[in-house]
Amino acid sequence: MSDIANIEELKKLAPPAELRRAPVVEGNLGLGWLTDKLSAFAEAKVPLWWWIAFVPAAFAATVIFPVCLFYQIFTGVGVWGNNHPNMWGWDIVNFIWWVGVAHAGTLISAMLFLTRQHWRTTIGRMAEAMTVFSVAMAGLYPAIHTGRPWFDWFMFPVPNSNGLWPQFKSPLMWDVFAVNTYLVVSSLFWFMGMIPDFAVLRDRATTRARKTIFSILAMGWTGSAWQWHHYEKAYVVLCGLCTLLVFTVSSIVGLDFCTSQLAGWHATIFPLYFVIGAVFCGFGMMLVLLTSLRKLCKLEAVITRSHIDKVAKLCLVSGLIINYIYLMEIFIAWYSGDPYERWVFGHRFFGHNYGFFGWMLILINVCLTQSLWFKKVRSNMVVLFFIGLFINFGMWSERMVIVVGSTHQDFLPANWGMYHPTRWDIGLFIGTLGAFFMLYLLFVKFLPMIAISEVKGAVPQGDPHHPLGGAQKGGHQ
């Protein structure tokens, strides 16, 4: 009885509807219901749409990808469009693009945890998975761009018979450290977050195979207060470290450019530019994944419209910062009085070579992003899905403009040359896209795609100080 009285009192104290926070989970029927709901997709039969998406992705990942990869490795970098003066082509464009996609994932899962945004619990796991898979794709490009990937171990500071050490003062070397650290740390973070949910799936398993697999993955997790106590600490520490990585990895990629003398690259704004661009691009990918998967996996009650709305707002914020940086870049190019700088920036839009990508950058990253100001747009899932796709293309164009736009016309007109991707460039990119989506679909189907234990802790039933969580009048001592 006391519980009911409490709820009535609470209703009186509650703020008016327009000030109330949107619930983390809509139509919440309790912890048991949540557990069923969140593990349903991983336990159900594989649906048809999954196969329809999986087969082409798996084809790209297991046929196109290895063919393009091994042809390039066996033949040499010459199979790509890279050639003097465009020593960096799609391989670097795609590297930066994939690293960028990763960043929003870490931002959602780590930074929003540190700022105690409970709504992130429902989308954090999916964001982390996006990070892990896209960093893996990103890391591949520089590794094969070296031309002789079997010598890649020279980049690691290991004693070797040549007595050589890597060049620790080079941002390209820092990239090796940064990308590897990003891959390891985000994988650890992703895996550690899943341990309690592996235990949930273990306890729910109906077949012997599932029980065995999830028992191994859960590592004997029992969920004791002692375990949670240390787990939470480790989680906070990992979140803090991942937050540092959000700002570090793309900054270092930006340093690759700004330490060079090339017009259009040699700017101190580059580290920040790359970080924000990365986050913006990643939010675009997040919109694509969330709007489609919430519908396909029947998770509308958990990944609510309010959550998508917040992701869209974050996307808008990062887009506005990017717009400001574009403006500053153009302003500084003009203000510097450097004829080469002015030439490069003028030709980004009014030159005849890669103007298309320059205008895509303006049309998508500047103009289309403004549509996210409107609530009507932010609440329409189909529109958001396509905006997300466009943002990804817009950011890819931006990297194209930066990398190829600057290298193809440098200081000496005698040194100019065009860049055209070959079929191996295109094939490899399609292959990495396929591999990413294949891994993502496997994750969605077989692993806990939503952090079950975190969501349960974020609903009123999980709060010991809330009447629904069993709190009694007068509290406890």
Partner 1 sequence: MSEKIYGLMAEFDSPGALLRAAEKISAGGYRKWDCFTPFPIHGLDKVMGYRNSLVGWVALAGGAFMFLNIAGLIWFANAFDYPVIVGGKPMFSAPMTFVPAYIMMIMGGALGALIGMFGINQLPRLHHPLLGKKRFASASRDKFVVVIGANDEKFCATQTKQLLETLGGANVEIVEEQE
Minimum distance from residue 260 beta carbon to partner 1 (Å): 17
Coil, helix or strand for 86?
strand
| DSSP per-residue codes, 145-178 | HTS-GGGGGGGS----TT-----TT-HHHHHHHH
Site for partner 1 in 355-394 (CB under 8 A): none
Minimum distance from residue 29 beta carbon to partner 1 (Å): 11
Kindly report the backbone phi and psi dihedral angles of residue 166, in degrees, each rounded to the nearest multiple of 5, phi listed first: -70, 165
Which C-beta is closer to partner 1: that of 23 or that of 355?
Answer: 23
Site for partner 1 in 438-477 (CB under 8 A): 452-454, 456-457, 461-466, 468-472, 476-477
Which C-beta is closer to partner 1: that of 146 or that of 170?
Answer: 170
Tokens at 25, concatenated: 């989970």
Which C-beta is closer to partner 1: that of 81 or that of 467?
Answer: 467
Minimum distance from residue 460 beta carbon to partner 1 (Å): 10
What's the CA gap between 22 and 220, in Å, rounded? 36
Count residues binding partner 1 (CB under 8 A): 71
223 binds partner 1 (CB under 8 A): yes
409 binds partner 1 (CB under 8 A): no
Minimum distance from residue 195 beta carbon to partner 1 (Å): 8
Among 227, 306, 379, 422, binds partner 1 (CB under 8 A): 227
| Residue 223 CB neighbour total at 10 angstroms | 15
Among 146, 222, 268, 370, binds partner 1 (CB under 8 A): 222
- The distance of Cα 168 from the centroid of its chain, to the nearest Å, equals 28
- Distance set, CA 286 to CA 126, 134, 220, 308 (Å): 9, 12, 32, 9
What's the CA gap between 382 and 476, in Å, rounded? 48
Minimum distance from residue 229 beta carbon to partner 1 (Å): 5
What's the CA gap between 181 and 341, in Å, rounded? 34
Angle between helical axes of 305-336 and 270-296 (0-180°, round to 10): 160
Which C-beta is closer to partner 1: that of 337 or that of 464?
Answer: 464
237 binds partner 1 (CB under 8 A): yes
Coil, helix or strand for 266?
coil
Which C-beta is closer to partner 1: that of 31 or that of 328?
Answer: 31
Which C-beta is closer to partner 1: that of 53 or that of 241?
Answer: 241
259 binds partner 1 (CB under 8 A): no
What's the CA gap between 72 and 460, in Å, rounded? 55
Site for partner 1 in 24-43 (CB under 8 A): 30-32, 35
266 binds partner 1 (CB under 8 A): no
Site for partner 1 in 133-192 (CB under 8 A): 157, 163-166, 168-169, 171, 173-174, 177-178, 180-181, 184-185, 188-189, 192
The owner of tokens 């460039």 is 425
CA atoms within 13 A on the CB side of 320: 9
| Distance separating the N- and C-terminal Cα atoms of the chain | 21
252 binds partner 1 (CB under 8 A): yes
Minimum distance from residue 476 beta carbon to partner 1 (Å): 5
